[in-house]
Amino acid sequence: MSNDTFSIDDALVRKLAGLLDETRLTEIEYAWGEHRIRVTRQPGLVQAAVGAAPVAAAAAVAAAPAAIEDLSKHPGAVTSPMVGTAYLSPQPGAPVFVRVGDTVSVGQPLLIVEAMKVMNQIRSTKAGRIARILVEDTAPVEFGQVLVILE
């Protein structure tokens, strides 16, 4: 398939829409080459959007600072086990689970990652002190993203 001629693959759109139903996700995106297709569910509506992938986004990822890579190798790095939204407190208006400088024990809740309407507590994997909190309240997080550094 060349960049000049592009046709929508109906079977692919139907398959992606089926995955939305199966997984109860609200959005799914598939990319190949310079093309990408996103199927989004809104109440009573399924849409497909097709367009060229932004080259600037790939360049930004390639130009990411080396310090971010080093944090993922930190022995006290606590990473997200899933894609979702991070919450630093158990509910809106409540005090945060932990602050920088707090001492934590194994299994102590550090934050919550919401994925598919399920609140998943992210617990400390070791005893130590909170050196850094690398995510803000209500921020989206990716699988494997470093959330907290323990020392």
| CATH 2.40.50.100 in the chain, residue ranges | 65-150
Q: What is the pTM of this model?
A: 0.54
CATH of domain 65-150: 2.40.50.100
Tens of pLDDT along 71-126? Answer: 888 899 999 999 999 999 999 889 999 999 999 999 999 999 999 889 999 999 89
Tens of pLDDT along 28-59? Answer: 777 777 777 777 765 444 444 444 444 444 44
Among candidate residues 115, 53, 107, the one with its CA nearest the CA of residue 82: 115
Q: How many CB atoms lie within 10 A of CB 115?
A: 17
Q: Radius of gyration over alpha carbons of the chain, in Å?
A: 19
Q: For residue 15, what are its two tokens? A: 């398959």
